[in-house]
Structure 1
């Protein structure tokens, strides 16, 4: 017998309907939050950001690519790292294939990291991603959007991340930012989200949330400790990964 309550189909349907009411309430709340998000005031971008990409030097205004809306994913990739962050890579797996659909809704999406482009491009190709990925190495972009932090994270200094002063375990942080360009070419910052706010863009977590074991991350050193680059899982089973992580934790 399973280690879980088992009931008749009729009782299950009754319980499912109770939960459905809450799910519908959550859907309405999400709709309201989305409306309030769209109604946030904007901030004009007065600085000219220039990035290094597949076409050479490109300005922020170029990244809209004929659209009026631009989404930027701030991908953690420090200049001295040999590969990009594995958790950011998981999120990138989620959005890579949907950009073609976004472009049909007057929206472009690009990825930006602080690592130099010559290091970014081989990693992008290794992972098989199609999205445009640029380097902000020679600009203040990462600093201005609070996803890069000076100093050694081991010093436990307070940094500004997710709209508050906090300690952060890395010199890079993940985030997503949105921009609008008007008919005169003026660019505005409309929205940014960080930390757990990024789970909103991970279909994998939404799927895990409907299975009996859920995310199954309790007891790990940190919630996403099990995540690997998608080309690194190989023959290692989830049990092998958990044993490895729990051994490190102890």
Structure 2
């Protein structure tokens, strides 16, 4: 935490107003970025992808569930893994509460991993999630969208070549389905670009200590069922 000075209410208001100017600039820039994102050109999805789901084999088109837009989380859970990536789990913790709002605003949500469906469902049950989670174990989807890799020293990730020897990395993608059923890939983001989905960070960024991380989320964040009991509430006000 930055060691900030203690001042009078009047001086605090003056400093807060200065910050508010910057916040408004950021809000306007964020609105501009959203518009530019919506104006990105689209890529027609030519390949047919078939996923293993709890409703049997389904195509990418089926995953839209009657909506024209699809939000997709690329979740790091590879074949044979005992549990999913903690960071991807952290992001997934924020999905369930959004579902009734998104599904009634023309957006369906799906999570995709390369693990087999039984492996996915076992971890999903453990974590208590309800969102739709499907397996791309028998197709090239993860590889085509640059979140799964054959073992190599360098991979194509986040629109660049990076050093990576693992098999999986995180990301988010969005798709649009036209009235004639044609599907388009409209957006993908990787690395820190996925933070826009993580509401916890939005709250932490407002707090006096900020994110309070030593390097990244791995310094404190865990699977939600691995945290120790929360500190007991103070009895000073009782």
Whole-angstrom CA distance in 2 between matches of 1:88 and 1:80: 17
Larger helix share, 1 or 2:
1
Whole-angstrom CA distance in 1 between matches of 2:157 and 2:127: 28
Q: Give the TM-score, by structure 2 length.
A: 0.93
Q: Confirm whether residue 183 of structure 1 aligns to residue 179 of structure 2.
A: yes
Can you list the C-alpha shifts for 1:33-55, whole angstroms capped at 9, x where unaligned? 00000000000001000000101
User: Following TM superposition, by how much is the alpha carbon of 1:3 offset from its aligned partner in structure 2, in angstroms?
Assistant: 4.8
Can you list the C-alpha shifts for 1:160-209, whole angstroms capped at 9, x where unaligned? 00000001363101000111111111100000000000111111111111
Residue 166 of structure 1 is matched in structure 2 by: 162
Runs of at least 4 residues off by over 6 Å: none
Q: Give the TM-score, by structure 1 length.
A: 0.89
Structure 2 alignment gaps of length 5 or more = 232-238
Structure 1 alignment gaps of length 5 or more = 238-250
Whole-angstrom CA distance in 1 between matches of 2:219 and 2:134: 27
Residue 233 of structure 1 is matched in structure 2 by: 227
| RMSD of aligned residue pairs (Cα, Å) | 1.5
Whole-angstrom CA distance in 2 between matches of 1:76 and 1:3: 38
Whole-angstrom CA distance in 2 between matches of 1:187 and 1:25: 35
Whole-angstrom CA distance in 2 between matches of 1:13 and 1:193: 37
User: Following TM superposition, by how much is the alpha carbon of 1:25 offset from its aligned partner in structure 2, in angstroms?
Assistant: 0.4
Q: Give the aligned length.
A: 230
**3-state SS, counterpart of residue 33 of structure 1:** helix
